[in-house]
């Protein structure tokens, strides 16, 4: 290496360093949030370790007891919302779980996901991403917001009965979210929800969350804008996809709602949706993005 080249290399390194520093300073939102990849990973392993967890099963009761115990451990006071749903296989007892983190105002930002898995009789379906990832993420996200100061109150909402009991139709799907919307409508409290954020199938190692078409525009703009500012352009691309999920009953009722779902997942609804296909790091990415998006959603 000649002296001239060496100087050029040093100058280039210096410029690269300065550019990096400038980029760091221009980042208003910190990349790291208190969301712990490790804790989320423990929840994921524990929940998936329960085995298949369809609505009405003993296994989902066991899962629910774990969720309740973990929410109590972090000082929250979870409430059960129990109901009986008419399904193509008769009445099934289902239970949504709710916990509040009080803000300055009673109006709500609801953060939600389902904790049931789809019923299969011919395969052992443990739903690592589909049902496991959302429940594990929501548990750790509830803890991570401990010191987050917001105007609005946060509600963590775990849905039962997201999956169809037989085949997906408007009547045979999203039992928990439909019940929740009806309950709030009866109690005239649906308008208390300022925004609903839904996560589903966010565990994929190769994370790819597209903008869900029906979801509310301003929520998507905040979340995808935040993700891209944090450097997660590949994980949160601007491509679009249309998915029916637990956010639809809220959208139909006029509640601003967004679904974060990685549907580009070959193991979807197969016996291969197992722990080796998912990663706690993907949960951490979604945790950082939503955590950093909340102040803007709170102010909107």
Sign (positive or negative) of CA dihedral 261, 266, 270, 272: negative
Min dist CB 106 to Zn ion, Å, is 33
Part of the chain binding Zn ion (CB under 5 A), chosen from 125-133, 176-184, 246-254, 284-292? 125-133
Measured from the CB of residue 296, what is the shortest distance to Zn ion in angstroms?
30
Shortest Cβ 159–Zn ion spacing (Å): 12
**Could you say which residues in the range 12-51 bind Zn ion, by CB under 5 A?**
none
| Contact between 245 and Zn ion per CB under 5 A | no
Q: Which residue shows structure tokens 């129990």?
A: 82
CB 206 within 8 A of CB 272: no
Q: Which is nearer to Zn ion, 153 or 173 (CB)?
A: 173
Whole-angstrom Cα distance, residue 251 to residue 246? 9
Name the residue whose CB lies closest to Zn ion: 130
Angle among Cα 199, 179, 173 to the nearest 5 degrees reads 60
Q: Which is nearer to Zn ion, 33 or 215 (CB)?
A: 215
- What secondary structure does DSSP assign to 44-81, as a single string? HHHHHHT----TTSHHHHHHHHHHHHHHHHTT---EEE
Q: Which stretch binds Zn ion (CB under 5 A): 32-40, 124-132, 219-227, 256-264?
A: 124-132
User: What part of residues 45-84 is at the interface with Zn ion (CB under 5 A)?
Assistant: none
Interface with Zn ion by CB under 5 A: which range of 19-27, 50-58, 114-122, 142-150? 114-122
With contacts defined by CB under 5 A, how many residues of the chain interact with Zn ion?
2
Q: Given the complex with Zn ion, which of 70 and 273 has the nearer CB atom? A: 273
Nearer of residues 229 and 241 to Zn ion, judged by Cβ = 241
* Sign of CA pseudo-dihedral 46, 277, 219, 113: negative
Residue closer to Zn ion, measured from CB, 118 or 194: 118
What is the rounded CA–CA span in Å between residue 125 and residue 17?
49
Stretch that binds Zn ion, among 22-30, 130-138, 143-151, 232-240 (CB under 5 A): 130-138
Residue 20 has phi, psi (to 5 degrees) of: -60, -45
Task: Give whichever of 115 and 224 is closer to Zn ion, judged by the CB atom.
Answer: 115
Helix orientation angle between 217-229 and 280-299, rounded to the nearest 10 degrees: 120
Candidate segments 90-98, 110-118, 148-156, 259-267, binder of Zn ion by CB under 5 A: 110-118
Distance between CA atoms of residues 58 and 54, nearest Å: 9
Shortest Cβ 208–Zn ion spacing (Å): 17
Report, in Å, the least distance between residue 131 CB and Zn ion. 7
**C-beta neighbour count of 123 within 10 angstroms:** 12
Q: Which is nearer to Zn ion, 118 or 143 (CB)?
A: 118
Picking from 244, 234, 144, 245, the residue whose alpha carbon sits closest to that of residue 198 is 245
Q: Is 130 in the site for Zn ion (CB under 5 A)?
A: yes
- Structural Rg of the chain based on CA atoms: 21
Q: Residues 147, 151, 153, 156: is their CA dihedral positive or negative?
A: negative
Q: Which is nearer to Zn ion, 130 or 180 (CB)?
A: 130
| Minimal distance, residue 31 CB to Zn ion, in Å | 31
- Which chain residues interact with Zn ion by CB under 5 A? 118, 130
């Amino acid at each position: 290496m000649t002296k001239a080249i060496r100087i050029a290399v040093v100058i280039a390194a210096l410029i690269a360093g300065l550019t990096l520093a400038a980029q760091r300073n221009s980042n208003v939102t910190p990349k790291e949030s208190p969301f712990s990849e490790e804790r989320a990973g423990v929840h994921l392993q524990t929940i998936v370790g329960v085995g298949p967890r369809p609505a009405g099963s003993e296994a989902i009761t066991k899962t629910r007891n774990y969720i309740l115990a973990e929410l109590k451990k972090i000082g929250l006071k979870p409430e059960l919302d129990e109901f009986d749903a008419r399904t193509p296989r008769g009445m099934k007892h289902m239970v949504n779980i709710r916990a509040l983190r009080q803000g300055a105002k009673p109006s709500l930002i609801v953060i939600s996901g389902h904790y049931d898995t789809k019923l299969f009789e011919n395969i052992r379906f443990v739903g690592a991403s589909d049902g496991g990832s959302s429940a594990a993420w929501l548990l750790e996200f509830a803890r991570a917001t401990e010191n987050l100061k917001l105007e609005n109150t946060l509600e963590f909402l775990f849905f039962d009965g997201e999956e169809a009991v037989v085949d997906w139709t408007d009547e045979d799907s999203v039992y928990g979210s439909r019940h929740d919307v009806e309950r709030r409508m009866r109690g005239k409290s649906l308008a208390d929800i300022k925004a609903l954020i839904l996560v589903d199938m966010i565990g994929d190692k190769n994370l790819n969350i597209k903008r869900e078409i029906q979801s509310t525009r301003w929520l998507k703009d905040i979340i995808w804008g935040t993700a891209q500012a944090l450097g997660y352009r590949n994980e949160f691309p601007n491509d679009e996809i249309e998915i029916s999920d637990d956010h639809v009953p809220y959208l139909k009722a006029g509640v601003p709602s967004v679904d974060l779902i990685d549907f580009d997942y070959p193991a979807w609804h197969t016996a291969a949706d197992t722990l080796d296909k998912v990663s706690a790091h993907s949960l951490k990415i979604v945790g950082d993005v939503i955590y950093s998006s909340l102040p803007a959603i709170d102010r909107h």
